[in-house]
Chains A and B, each alone.
Chain A
Amino acid sequence: MAMTTTGAPGRGWLRWLVVAIPYLWLIVLFLAPFLIVLKISFSTTAIAMPPYTPALDLSAGLGALWEQIQEFTFDNYIFLTEDSLYLQSYLSSLKIAAISTFLILLVGYPIAYGMARARREWRPTLLMLVILPFWTSFLIRVYAWIGILKPEGLLNQMLLGLGVISEPLNILPSTLAVYIGIVYSYLPFMILPLYATLEKLDETLLEAAADLGCPPIQAFWKITFPLSIPGVVAGCFLVFIPAVGEFVIPDLLGGSDTLMIGKTLWAEFFSNRDWPVSSAVAVVLLAILVVPIMLFQNAQKKASE
């Protein structure tokens, strides 16, 4: 089996090293931390450093380890179900992420479509223009909206100046502002995979449809859209999954009534300094997202083969 993938750079040990270095790195710094989160979510808060017990001290030997493991408790998870704040945060996060994803699809599809149908020599420039905001700081892009949306901000000034409204709108802080922030920040993540599939679309297929009597709008729904589904799926995953755990946007643009789980976790960790409960929050969030994440990975793997 080892020799079937020939032509790869390096012989035996070299090939082994190419895999082993990033593999070990990710196991130590990405996988192991999750196991620790899982472990701490079963621990109890303590006034100490680290602020939880048991601390699982391996130096005490295996017997002591077993004793420590017996101290594990489901209290943190039970606590999550008792306080409705957590359930509401999860539900509200899922709802906000789902609606935002749909809105981003609505906004992003026409843009990606327009780009893919633009003149060939224009496409790299348009693509760069979509990527450029993505390279600028997330925080800055969210911050930019504060200046626009706040009560004495530019939007209200303009609307008041035009006489559309007589009282400033209270958009900031609000859940509406969170939607605007998410749509704005995540738009490029939707446009890029959509553009990639739409650009690859063989235009003779549309010619064939027209030739067989199909007018352009129908051809869009019968040919273009079904063939762009992989891009739609990839874009939705890229937007939905991180949006569920979003912290910066609800924190800066959302009001006190905008519940999102990222914000709750942050507060639990930094304000309440309750590490076991924040770990439990993270574990549950991960459990919710594990199915979409696996689907996303499958889609990525399929695309790379």
Chain B
Amino acid sequence: MRRGPSWFNITAITLGFAFLYLPIVLLVIYSFNASKLVTVWGGFSTKWYVSLLSNQGLLDAAWVTIRVALLSATLATVLGTLAAIALVRFGRFPGGTLFSGMVYAPLVMPEVITGLAMLLLFVAIGFARGFWTLTLAHITFSMCFVAVVVQSRLITFDRSLEEAALDLGCPPFKTFFTITLPLILPAVVAGWMLAFTLSLDDLVISSFTTGPGATTLPMKIYSQVRLGVTPEINAICSILIGIVATGVIIASIVTKRREVERQRAERLALQIG
């Protein structure tokens, strides 16, 4: 029934979102706390952010994290997109069940198991642990998330568009790059962003697969958190939240604006036509 939102729904949404956001908001607020005692408000200050800049260990870890995230997200997007195409388009092929199993399993696999398994692989083949093992591990688990995101777009993809291109004489390989890829691009980009943040955030798998000289930001934060809550950690966390939130909000505004423009163009076309 086309009724307005009911009180039940409004209450559920309000309480739900309060629960989801309140802890994060409090964390950000207390990153501006002048007092060293995290829970006592000592006035507004940005000194913790300033002190971060002089923490060389933290800056090194941030740099490692960003390099791993950029590299692994990009390769995971390529591999994940291929996997999605294989899943959606090639239907049954020998070993297809094993393949889809391997794509979906990392989504739910406890990270301690994945991390341990990958570490043992690197040890078994004698691969020196560090930046590269970290990157390989990140590619492997995040490509599965990319595959699922791209797959959901491919399922709803209108196949007749490709058939039209083939019918007009465009070879299959070219059809993929001129028709299919541009149309699934939003999902591919979303997949890249997801892979990037997953890599940025990962602690457990990184802890297993990393080696000397490749400490990531979450690992650094984790070792400090174990020692207690400090405003400095609040400040790093706030920066990370800020980066991710800005990225997601910009992305959604861009998609929203493109959607609005498309609708306006369609309306205009209808009026002219």
Asked if chains A and B are in direct contact (CB within 8 A), the reply is yes
For residue B185, CB closer than 8 A to chain A, the reply is no
Q: In the assembly, what is the distance between CA of A92 and CA of B231, in Å? A: 34
Q: Which B residues touch A114, using CB under 8 A? A: 5, 8-13, 16
- B116 A136 Cβ-Cβ under 8 A: no
Stretch of A69-77, A79-87, A242-250 with 4 or more beta carbons under 8 angstroms from chain B: A242-250
- A7 B166 Cβ-Cβ under 8 A: yes
Interface of A is mostly: helix
Q: How large is the interface on A (under 10, 10 to 19, 20 to 34, 35 or more residues)?
A: 35 or more
Interface of B is mostly: helix
For residue A218, CB closer than 8 A to chain B, the reply is no
- A9 B197 Cβ-Cβ under 8 A: no
In the complex, the chain B residue whose C-beta lies closest to that of A37 is B117
For residue A291, CB closer than 8 A to chain B, the reply is no
For residue B26, CB closer than 8 A to chain A, the reply is yes
For residue B56, CB closer than 8 A to chain A, the reply is no
In the complex, the chain A residue whose C-beta lies closest to that of B38 is A147
For residue B113, CB closer than 8 A to chain A, the reply is yes
- A139 B124 Cβ-Cβ under 8 A: no
Q: In the assembly, what is the distance between CA of A270 and CA of B204, in Å? A: 12
Could you give, for residues 85-101 of chain B, a 1 whenever the CB lies within 8 Å of some chain A CB and a 0 otherwise? 11111111101001111
- A147 B200 Cβ-Cβ under 8 A: no
Q: Which A residues touch B13, using CB under 8 A? A: 111, 114-115, 118, 126
- B162 A7 Cβ-Cβ under 8 A: yes
Q: In the assembly, what is the distance between CA of A148 and CA of B226, in Å? A: 16
B32 to chain A, nearest CB (A): 14
For residue A269, CB closer than 8 A to chain B, the reply is yes
Q: How many A-B residue pairs have CB under 8 A?
A: 289
- B20 A133 Cβ-Cβ under 8 A: yes
Could you give, for residues 58-88 of chain B, a 1 whenever the CB lies within 8 Å of some chain A CB and a 0 otherwise? 0000000000000000000001101101111
- A297 B104 Cβ-Cβ under 8 A: yes
A9-B176, A304-B88 given as contacts; is B218 within 8 A of A137 (CB)? yes
> Could you say which of B8, B39, B83 contacts A147, with CB atoms under 8 Å apart?
B39
> Could you say which of B1, B79, B194 contacts A203, with CB atoms under 8 Å apart?
B1
Q: Restricting to A228-260, which residues have a CB under 8 Å from any CB of B? A: 237-238, 241-242, 244-248, 252
- B100 A297 Cβ-Cβ under 8 A: yes
Q: In the assembly, what is the distance between CA of A153 and CA of B114, in Å? A: 34
For residue A197, CB closer than 8 A to chain B, the reply is no
A53 to chain B, nearest CB (A): 13
Q: Restricting to B142-177, which residues have a CB under 8 Å from any CB of A? A: 143, 147-148, 151-152, 155, 159, 162-163, 166, 172-173, 175-176
For residue A46, CB closer than 8 A to chain B, the reply is no
Q: In the assembly, what is the distance between CA of A29 and CA of B17, in Å? A: 38
Most chain A CB atoms below 10 A, which of B112, B176, B204: B112
> Could you say which of A36, A56, A207 contacts B121, with CB atoms under 8 Å apart?
A36
In the complex, the chain B residue whose C-beta lies closest to that of A150 is B229
- B9 A118 Cβ-Cβ under 8 A: yes
Q: Restricting to B22-71, which residues have a CB under 8 Å from any CB of A? A: 23-24, 26-27, 30, 38-39
A26-B99, A37-B116, A114-B16 given as contacts; is B27 within 8 A of A140 (CB)? yes
For residue B183, CB closer than 8 A to chain A, the reply is no
Q: Which A residues touch B247, using CB under 8 A? A: 135
- A19 B5 Cβ-Cβ under 8 A: no
Q: Which A residues touch B6, using CB under 8 A? A: 117
> Could you say which of A10, A22, A132 contacts B143, with CB atoms under 8 Å apart?
A22
Q: Which A residues touch B113, using CB under 8 A? A: 37, 245, 282, 285-286
For residue B128, CB closer than 8 A to chain A, the reply is no
- B222 A139 Cβ-Cβ under 8 A: yes
For residue B233, CB closer than 8 A to chain A, the reply is yes
Could you give, for residues 2-40 of chain A, a 1 whenever the CB lies within 8 Å of some chain B CB and a 0 otherwise? 001101111100110011011101110111111011001
- B20 A187 Cβ-Cβ under 8 A: yes
For residue B252, CB closer than 8 A to chain A, the reply is yes
- B26 A154 Cβ-Cβ under 8 A: yes
Q: In the assembly, what is the distance between CA of A19 and CA of B147, in Å? A: 12
Mind listing 17 A-B residue pairs with CB under 8 Å? A7-B159, A8-B90, A14-B172, A26-B102, A30-B140, A36-B121, A50-B124, A114-B8, A114-B13, A124-B252, A135-B247, A137-B237, A137-B241, A187-B16, A247-B111, A282-B116, A286-B113
Further pairs besides A22-B86, A129-B20: 15, Cβ < 8 Å? A14-B173, A22-B80, A22-B83, A30-B105, A111-B17, A135-B245, A135-B248, A137-B218, A137-B241, A147-B30, A184-B20, A187-B19, A246-B110, A286-B113, A304-B152
Q: Which residues of B contact A (CB under 8 A)?
A: 1, 5-6, 8-13, 16-17, 19-21, 23-24, 26-27, 30, 38-39, 79-80, 82-83, 85-93, 95, 98-114, 116-118, 120-121, 123-124, 136-137, 139-140, 143, 147-148, 151-152, 155, 159, 162-163, 166, 172-173, 175-176, 180, 193-194, 197, 200-201, 203-204, 207-208, 218, 221-222, 225-226, 229, 233-234, 237, 240-241, 244-245, 247-249, 252, 256
Going nearest first, the 5 A-B pairs with the smallest beta carbon separation are A245-B110, A33-B117, A9-B176, A111-B16, A110-B12
